[in-house]
Structure 1
């Protein structure tokens, strides 16, 4: 919070250079404050990442996915902006985009460094939602390219997401005969009992209640994952007559 106050004050006196300096100084002070806290954060059980840093990290990862196939799609850019406005409000989203364009975008973005920080300071279910968000960006133009999948897969590895969870979320964006089974993290030759057990396990893993600590847009993404699990189970039940 302090970084935004100092950024505003810096802008009033020295325009954008002052805003950037104020934000960076405020960030240092914010992190010093965070280190003294003992209570859990909304984004992690012990160590914390500030909401402002989380937003910038999320936007940085989004930019990597958008640029992955060498084609910067306006549809994908619009999706990200709309998502941020819905999650954080127009004023706060615009401030994040401005700072990203003025400072972060001019540097080389390291997915590994960002993900290492998020891996340490966010809950696992939050990281699953980050992957769903990244796939949603790639799919905004109606097609998820192989290069985009590879970039998201790399990010998933850095985030410490299990491969079966990555494949489950990936399957939500691809239609093929095995998609429903991949969403439930089982093989086509699974027994009916195994299908039912897999559905219960996945419904528990992706239940929206696990994301109540996040903003509305992130919770909505959780609901979409939960719906895909239900649809996958219903499809398999219909195919098998169970």
Structure 2
């Protein structure tokens, strides 16, 4: 952060007093960047908003998933609000919903523009967690509809998520004979050796430690993905007897 850089420079020039002054000045700039001047992409227009662009863009994508099947479900709305409160705290979550309702809700939201922005600014594992979050919204009412799957799939493409990773996360929300294989990104014809190898690869890909830079709710979602990988592997162990 800028505060620490200026603190180091201040210390080099004026020792301890310089470090204190540099830290304070840097803190002002850091707080301005975090709270004062963020952007969210809506169609071809850009609007200055608060509190943060990531939260507003995430909420915008969530709204598109909720409306995908033409039925605005209260359970899904409640899930999103609870998720944001857990991730950002009640005050910040309320501010995000307020800005969304006042500035963004009634304007055209471009999933492509938002996802392109997120693709440029987030790590791949973070984008995987965004997909898991979107599927969790669709599943909040106990059923992930085909229009919701199609909308999330479209977003996955804009986010630059590989098809096999999309299918892996999707399989976590559907129970069928192939779910365990899809979660581990392998075919039913996979050998025991290939299953073990796939499991090790998925553990590495979905390990919760990869989301330590994200907020608590996102980290919890990462733990849920990790648990699904473990359950898939244990299921195949029983089925194959190894």
Q: If the length of structure 2 is used for normalisation, what is the TM-score?
A: 0.81
**Tell me, which stretches of 5 or more residues in structure 2 are unaligned?**
1-30, 40-49
Where 2:52 maps in the other structure, the secondary structure is: helix
Match of 1:71 in 2: 71
Checking the alignment, whether the CA contact within 8 Å between 1:181 and 1:187 is kept in structure 2 is yes
Match of 1:136 in 2: 136
* Alpha-carbon separation, structure 2, partners of 1:83 and 1:185: 28
Cα distance, 1:2 vs. partner?
Answer: 2.8
Aligned match for 2:38, one of 5, 9, 27 = 27
Match of 1:237 in 2: 237
Q: Would you identify which runs of 4 or more consecutive aligned residues in structure 1 move more than 3 Å? A: 3-6
Match of 2:120 in 1: 120
* Alpha-carbon separation, structure 2, partners of 1:114 and 1:214: 18
* Alpha-carbon separation, structure 1, partners of 2:140 and 2:207: 24
Checking the alignment, whether the CA contact within 8 Å between 1:60 and 1:109 is kept in structure 2 is yes
Match of 1:96 in 2: 96
The structure with the larger Rg is: 2
Cα distance, 1:106 vs. partner?
Answer: 1.7
Match of 1:207 in 2: 207
* Alpha-carbon separation, structure 2, partners of 1:191 and 1:107: 51
Aligned length: 202
Considering fraction of residues, name the structure with more strand: 2
Checking the alignment, whether the CA contact within 8 Å between 1:76 and 1:137 is kept in structure 2 is yes
Match of 2:87 in 1: 87
**Tell me, which stretches of 5 or more residues in structure 1 are unaligned?**
7-25, 29-49
Checking the alignment, whether the CA contact within 8 Å between 1:2 and 1:27 is kept in structure 2 is no
Where 2:233 maps in the other structure, the secondary structure is: helix
